[in-house]
Chains A and B, each alone.
Chain A
Amino acid sequence: SQQGEEDPQALSIQEGENATMNCSYKTSINNLQWYRQNSGRGLVHLILIRSNEREKHSGRLRVTLDTSKKSSSLLITASRAADTASYFCATEPGSARQLTFGSGTQLTVLP
């Protein structure tokens, strides 16, 4: 099974609303990253949070990390139609560099 599992699998909201996606993982990590993928395109890095950090902001993005629960959340505030995409969490384990990606959340923002 995958290291990171996102929840929900799909999310549909109205423009202007906030979108929250969750990620759970299983093993210890160096950092956790969030990526976005538009249809037919490659993944694009959004934000990285290290294992000793609890919260991080970047523009309209807010990421939290709870290492005791092995979970993270991505909040997109004031969503826009252009935010429509799949969002993936990825974990870098403590012992190696390779990222393990979750199954993704498909976000649809309706205009």
Chain B
Amino acid sequence: DAGVIQSPRHEVTEMGQEVTLRCKPISGHDYLFWYRQTMMRGLELLIYFNNNVPIDDSGMPEDRFSAKMPNASFSTLKIQPSEPRDSAVYFCAGQNTEAFFGQGTRLTVV
């Protein structure tokens, strides 16, 4: 098992552009979480899914952020349009009890 796979690992984009982050979780995890990590705010929960259904998206900062999980093996986090303050490392994690994190996507919006 290759673990949780996120792509891309790094993304640099211009302000106003659409950004799509991808996550392939480990098979068998009922929950999938999207987090954002910055120096200022630490690790923030954005949204999580249970059996592919969004349960709590109260952490999504604005309507510019959206997430989908069309099936158990794939999820996306989209930012449209992106802004410089969205620059952060974005993690997805699969979980039943303990969380298994991907390596993250480092997003830089210039």
Contacts and interface: CB of A to CB of B under 8 A. Distances in A.
B45 to A, nearest CB: 6
Contact of B4 (A42, A100, A101): A42
Chain B contact residues: helix, strand, loop or mixed: strand
B104 A42 contact: yes
Contact of A97 (B31, B43, B102): B31
A101 B90 CA distance: 15
Contact of B95 (A42, A44, A88, A97): A97
Contact of A101 (B42, B97, B102, B103): B42
Contacts of B97: 31, 48, 92
Interface string A18-35: 000000000000010101
A45 B43 CA distance: 15
Interface string B67-110: 00000000000000000000000010101011111111000000
Contacts of A90: 99
B91 A43 contact: yes
Interface string A79-111: 000000000101010001111111110000000
A100 B101 CA distance: 14
B104 A97 contact: no
Given A2-B42, A42-B103, A99 B95 contact: yes
Contacts of B101: 42-44
A40 to B, nearest CB: 8
23 contacts: A2-B42, A33-B99, A41-B103, A42-B4, A42-B93, A42-B102, A43-B43, A43-B93, A44-B101, A48-B97, A48-B98, A90-B99, A96-B56, A97-B31, A97-B48, A97-B95, A98-B33, A98-B56, A100-B45, A101-B42, A101-B43, A103-B42, A104-B43
